[in-house]
Amino acid sequence: MDRELLLEIGTEEMPASWLPGLTRQVGDGIDGALRAHRLSADAPVESYSTPRRLTARIAKISERQTDLEELVIGPSVATAFGADGQPTPAAAGFARKHNVEVSQLERVETPKGTHLGYRKHQRGKAAVDVLPDVLATALRSFSFPKAMRWDAYLEDGKGELLFGRPIRWILYLYGGRVVPFTIRRTELSESAAVQEVVSAAVTYGHRFLTTSGRAGRAVKVRTFEDYLSRLAEHFVILDRQERQDRIGRSLEAKARGLGGRVGSSATMHSALLDEVPDLIEYPTVMAGTFAREFLSLPEEVLTTTMIHHQHNFPVVDDAGHLKPAFLVVTNTDAGNEKVVARNYERVLAARLRDARFFWDADRTVRLEDRIERLKTIRFHRKLGSYFEKSQRVDQLARWIAAEPLASPQAADAASIAGRLAKADLATEMVAELTELQGVMGGIYAREEGQ
């Protein structure tokens, strides 16, 4: 613990899509800042994240900066000494500037000839005296898709500090002791909500859950092990992989309890399972249901609505058919599961009613009759509308089938497929569920007997 460095940057909730990159950045940023300030990490840098915190930990860093030796080049020997070999004012002035005698200067060969030089030795500072500057450098190194101005600045001479979300607290410990660091308010700020952020030996648990006292209360820590255990006590699982594993196990168990398994395509399921751990700090899986009548909708419509729009996991039976049930990962405990599940059911039902309306409305107009509307949808500024694109695809598909593939009998079918390929862009379903572009065209075409 004597040389352990622990940093936690507590923020407002970060977007889930940012966290994988920010997890790398917090580790790389603190490692790079240490090296920039001539400190070394004597153990691997560990980095972690949740939607509300970015954490870096190094089990051991150097106690002092490495000493700095700088060779300062002075006047040329030709101008430093006269014909009699005595130092000239140029040599004397250079020596006086560095508080040494001329005899202590050395001769240095340079591309411009032999010059006088002085090796300036600077003893490294203690790590604790340098670490405030290390954090300032690390904070400045972050990059975000969109950075926020939040009326804050650092006293590093570079002014305002932009960050992805406002920073609410900083845990910054070296050897179990607080490293002093302050993010100050800008003098022009009129918002009383923007307070100075001062480093301390405290973290904060789950925003809403706690084992005692009140949620959001400061929690004192001294070491990384202490930090992990205290977070766990206050409903925060720091390690992303642990959150993901917990979610995977809970999903499988809940699905078995419903007499099925987690369904949908491997790609969509994997993408959602990869995203959800970055949305929550304490995952709990809950189950909900929807009316069986919605199973008459195409499976692609149901799964897209559940996964892409509601972040729900579909449930299928042993034959792979959808069941009127879904699973959801929440950032709370299971104490109020019925209330939470009912709210998710209500929102999903509204989405599915809309989807059923679009499904019924779209089937009143044939795909062939929608092609004309593609004239109003631009494909590319220089390439015209989707109507023009569909004509080109029609001609190209017919030529490929008839010539290179030498299959004239398939030419008509290829022509129809090419002409209808973009027709679903003019449907209500694709306007609402853009992920189904192309998919709905195939479904509607089969419904029409194409």
Residues 282-315: tens digit of each pLDDT: 999 999 999 999 999 999 999 999 998 899 999 9
Query: What pLDDT, on a 0 to 100 scale, did the predictor assign at position 366?
Result: 93
Query: What pLDDT, on a 0 to 100 scale, did the predictor assign at position 191?
Result: 58
Query: What pLDDT, on a 0 to 100 scale, did the predictor assign at position 419?
Result: 83
Q: Give me the chain's average pLDDT, please.
A: 89
What is the Cβ-side half-sphere exposure of residue 64, based on CA atoms within 13 angstroms? Answer: 8
* pTM exceeds 0.85, yes or no: no
Q: What is the pLDDT of residues 222-257, one digit of tens each?
A: 999 999 999 999 999 999 999 999 999 999 999 999
Domain boundaries in the chain?
5-64+126-233, 68-122, 240-362, 367-447
- Higher-confidence residue: 188 or 237? 237
Examine the pLDDT at 190 and tell me if it is beyond 60.
no
In this structure, of 104-108, 132-136, 210-214, 341-345, the range with the lowest mean pLDDT score is 210-214
- Higher-confidence residue: 216 or 327? 327
Query: Is residue 174 a contact partner of residue 5, using CB atoms and an 8 Å limit?
Result: yes
Quick one: tokens of 90?
Answer: 């140029």
Quick one: tokens of 25?
Answer: 């950045």
